Structure 1
C-alpha cells in the first residue's frame, strides 16, 4: 500500500492536487493532500502565528495519522515552497518515509530559509529588506492572474485552471519564508526523486552537466537511491498534466527513474572536457590574471577575440572554464587565423551572479586591450550558452573598438525559472540599440525548446530592427554541439563563423 502525502507550493492549497490525487487513488494508492495552516481555508490562523515550523507540524500530523499496522510505504511530495515543510517533517520521521519527491523545486539546506528559493530576484531582494527591517509577521499577497509567471512557467496550464488557481490563492505568511529550515541530517538517508519540469527551464541533462563540472556539493545526486524524471511542461504539472504527473509519482514510488552518472576518473569524459573537433596549433597559454591569451607568432599588434564561457558553473569546477578544450580550441583556432585568442574565467556561479560576471567580462576586455600584442581598437567577443545573456551590455551600447559579437548556442533571454523578468540581461530587448555592430549567431537546430524560444525571439527582434545579424545554422546540432555531434555536422559552421569574425576584425 502506497500513501502519498502531498504538499503544495506558495499561495496554494490542497485543492491543486485534486486531479492527480484522483488518478493515484484509482491506481490503488492512498493520498493525503496536506492543508497548510494559515493558507488553506480548512486551517485558518493569524499570520503572526504561522511560520515554517507550523507547516512542518502540519506534515508531521499527516504522517502520524497513517495507520502503520499494514506497513504502508509513505511517499512525501513537495512542490515549490512545499519541499521545505516536507523535508522538515521527513527529517523527524525518517524511519517512516519511503521516499521524498522534489517536484520542480530546489534543494533546501539546513539553516537556509525558503526566502532563498523565491524565484523572482527582485522580489526576493524586497523581501530580504522587509526581513532586515523586522517586518516578519505580515503576509505576501498572492499573484494576480497575469503574475504567476514570476513564480514559474505557466506553460500547459489552461485558462480555466489558471483562473481557478488565482481565485483560490491565499496570502503567504512571511514567517514561512523567513524562518530557517532546521535539519538534523536524518533525512539524508531517505531515498529521493526529482521531478523536473522542462518548460520551466529544468532538465535532467542540465543537472548532469552540473554534476560533470565536479562540484562536490552535487555528488550526492549520483547515489543509487536518487532518481529523476522529466516532464515537458511548466511549473504546475498537477494542473497542466495531472495524469502524467500521477504516473511519474507511481514510478518514483517504485524506485524507478533516471540515475545520474557520477563524475570521476572512471566515468566517460563529460561533453565540456572532450577534445575540440578541429586540429589547431598547440600554442602555449599566457596567463594574465583571470584571462589566458593565445598569441600567434609574428609581429603585432593584432586583433583579438575574447571567448566567454556560459554557466552557471559551480565555483569548484575543475578544470576551470578557461581551460575547457572547446573554449581553448576556439581561442587557438583564432590564433591560427592570425588573431589573438583569449579565454576567461568569470564568476557566473549562480543565476543571481550575472551582474558580477558582467563586471568580470568588462575587466577582462580591458586587460586584453591593454596588452601590447593586441590592437585594442579591433576586438571581438564570443559568448557561449548561458553566457549569452552577457551580450546585453555590449549590444545596448557597443563601443567603437568592438568590431564583432558572436554567440554559439546561446541563451538569449532569461529562462522562466530564473526569476529575471525585470533584469537588464535581456539581449532581445537590447539588440535594437546595436546599430552597425555585426552579430554572428551559431544556431543549434536541435536546441532544447525553452532555449530555442529565446533564440527565436532574438532573431525576430534583430530582423525587426535591421540589425547586422549573420545566422550560421547547425541543422542537426545540439547544445554544445562541438563535442557531442559528429564533426561533419559541425565543422562547416565552425569554419564559417570563425571566418566571419576574423573578416570583421581585419576588414
Structure 2
C-alpha cells in the first residue's frame, strides 16, 4: 500500500486536497492531508511565532504517525510553498520516505527561505527587506477573488470553486516565508517526481531546454531516480483536475514518468542542432556584445537584429549568439543582401528584463552607427522569452524601425514569473504600433501557457487593426527550427525572411 501525505501551498489548508484524496483512497491508498499550524482552521497556533520549522514539525508528525508496516511506502507531496516543509521533513526522515513529489513548485535549496519563490517581485522585495530587519512575525493577507492569478494560473478552476478557495483562504504566517530552509543533504537520495502544470508556464520540454543550456542547479534533475509529469491545467490541479492529479500521483508512486536527458548525452541538445536551411558562409565581425554578418556591398544595407530568447543561464557556452539558429538566421539575412546581426543580452532570470532591454537598445545603436548599415532601415526579430522586449518597440516605434518579427514568442509574462508593472506587456502595447509591420511565426504545438499569450496578442492586434502577418507552423514546437520536420519549417522561415526583406527594401 502507498501512503500519500499531502501538504498544501500558501494561504490554503488541508481542505484543498479533498477530491484528490478521495480518489487516491478509492484506488486503495492511505491518504493524509496535513493541517499546517496557523493556517488550517482546525490547527491553530499555540503562540504568535509560527515559522517554517513549525510546519516541518507538522509534516514530521504526520510521517511518524504512519505505522512502519513492511511494504507501505510513503510519498510526500508538496504543492507550491508546501514543498519547503516537505523537504525539511524528508531530509530528517529520509529512510521513511519512498518519494517526494514536487507539485508545480520550485526547487528549494539549503539556506534559502520560501520568500525566494514568491512570484510577485515587488512583494518579494518587500519581504526581503523585512527579513533583513529581522521581522519574523505577522501575516501575509490572502488574495481576494480576483488576485489569485498573481500567485499562479487559475486555468481550469471554475467560478464556484474559486469562490470557495477565496472563502477558505487563510493568512500566511510571515515566519514560514522568511526562515531559511535547512537541509543536511540526506533528502537528495530520496527519489523525486516533478508535476508541472503547463498553463502556469512550465513544461518538461522547457526544463529540458534549461538543462541543455547548462544550468548547474537543474543538472541534478537528470538522475535516474527523478521523473516528470505534465498536467494541462493551472497552478491548482487539486481543484481544477483532481482525478487527473490523483492518477499522476499514483503513477509517480510507481516510479513512472518522463526522465530528463543529461546535457550533451547521445546527441547535441536542441538549441545546438543544425539550422534547417542551407545558407552561405559569411564572415563574422564581432563588436563587443554584437556580431555582424554583412554582405559584400558598396552601399549601406538594411539590417536585421536577431534577439535571442531566455532566460539563459549566465555563462552558458556556447553563448546564444553562436547558436546555429541565430547564426543561421543572420547568414540567411546576409544572403538576402541585408546585414544580419546577433547579440548577447543579460536575460539570465525573469527579473532581468530591464537589463536585457538596455542591452538590446545598445546593440541597435551600435548597429545603426556602423557604416555598412542603412541606419534608417532596421528590423528587429525576437525569439521565445525575448518576446516581452517587443513591448518597448511597439509602444513607440521609431521611424527607422521598418519591421518587427517574432518566432514562437512569449507575449505576456507567464503566471509563475510574477512580473509586475506595465512595461513588458506586448498585448496592450500593440495598440500603439501604428503602421509598423509585424511578422509572427506561430508554433502549432506550443506550450499551452505560452500559446495563450500569443492568442491574446493576435486578438489585440486584430482588434486595433495592426499590420500583422501570421506564419503558422502547424506541427511546430517551441524552437521548431531544430526540433521539427524541415519540410514544414523551411517554407515558414523563407516566407518570414522574404516578408522582412520586403518591408526593409520596399
Same fold (TM over 0.5): yes
**Aligned partners of 1:413 and 1:427 also within 8 Å:** yes
- The answer on 1:433 being equivalent to 2:432 is yes
**Deviation of 1:418 (Å):** 1.7
How many Å separate the matches in 2 of 1:142 and 1:263?
40
State how 1:185-334 maps to structure 2 within 5 Å. Answer: 185-264=185-264, 266-334=265-333
**Deviation of 1:372 (Å):** 2.2
- The answer on 1:502 being equivalent to 2:501 is yes
SS state at 2:183 partner? coil
2:486 maps to what in 1?
487
How many Å separate the matches in 1 of 2:446 and 2:75?
35
SS state at 1:68 partner? coil
**Deviation of 1:303 (Å):** 1.5
**Deviation of 1:439 (Å):** 1.1
1:217-275 CA deviation, whole Å, 9 max, x = no partner?
Answer: 221111110000111111111111111111111111111111111112x4222221111
2:357 maps to what in 1?
358
2:34 maps to what in 1?
34
- The answer on 1:70 being equivalent to 2:98 is no
SS state at 2:217 partner? helix
2:342 maps to what in 1?
343
**Deviation of 1:423 (Å):** 4.3
SS state at 1:70 partner? coil
- The answer on 1:424 being equivalent to 2:391 is no
1:115-159 CA deviation, whole Å, 9 max, x = no partner?
Answer: 010112222223333334544311100111111111111111122
- The answer on 1:158 being equivalent to 2:158 is yes
SS state at 2:244 partner? helix
**Aligned partners of 2:397 and 2:436 also within 8 Å:** yes
SS state at 1:205 partner? helix
**Number of positions where the alignment pairs a residue of Structure 1 with one of Structure 2:** 506
Moved more, 23-32 or 419-428: 419-428
**Aligned partners of 1:36 and 1:43 also within 8 Å:** yes
TM-score normalized by structure 1? 0.97
How many Å separate the matches in 1 of 2:5 and 2:43?
17
**Deviation of 1:71 (Å):** 4.7
Compute the RMSD of aligned alpha carbons. 1.5
How many Å separate the matches in 2 of 1:305 and 1:36?
55
Moved more, 65-74 or 53-62: 65-74
2:136 maps to what in 1?
136
SS state at 1:326 partner? helix
SS state at 2:318 partner? coil
**Aligned partners of 2:142 and 2:169 also within 8 Å:** yes
SS state at 2:280 partner? coil
1:34-86 CA deviation, whole Å, 9 max, x = no partner?
Answer: 11111111221267410111111111111111111435211110000000011
**Deviation of 1:205 (Å):** 1.0
**Aligned partners of 1:47 and 1:137 also within 8 Å:** no
How many Å separate the matches in 1 of 2:6 and 2:358?
43
- The answer on 1:145 being equivalent to 2:122 is no
- Runs of 5+ consecutive residues of structure 2 not aligned to the other structure: none
How many Å separate the matches in 1 of 2:396 and 2:131?
37
How many Å separate the matches in 2 of 1:27 and 1:475?
39
1:3 maps to what in 2?
3
How many Å separate the matches in 2 of 1:316 and 1:12?
39
**Deviation of 1:484 (Å):** 2.0
SS state at 2:78 partner? strand
SS state at 1:15 partner? helix
**Aligned partners of 1:346 and 1:361 also within 8 Å:** yes
1:117 maps to what in 2?
117
TM-score normalized by structure 2? 0.97
SS state at 1:49 partner? coil
SS state at 2:330 partner? helix
State how 1:21-60 maps to structure 2 within 5 Å. Answer: 21-45=21-45, 48-60=48-60
The runs of 4+ residues in structure 1 deviating greater than 4 Å are: none
State how 1:175-190 maps to structure 2 within 5 Å. Answer: 175-190=175-190
CA 256–445 in structure 1, closer or farther in 2 if over 3 Å, else same = closer
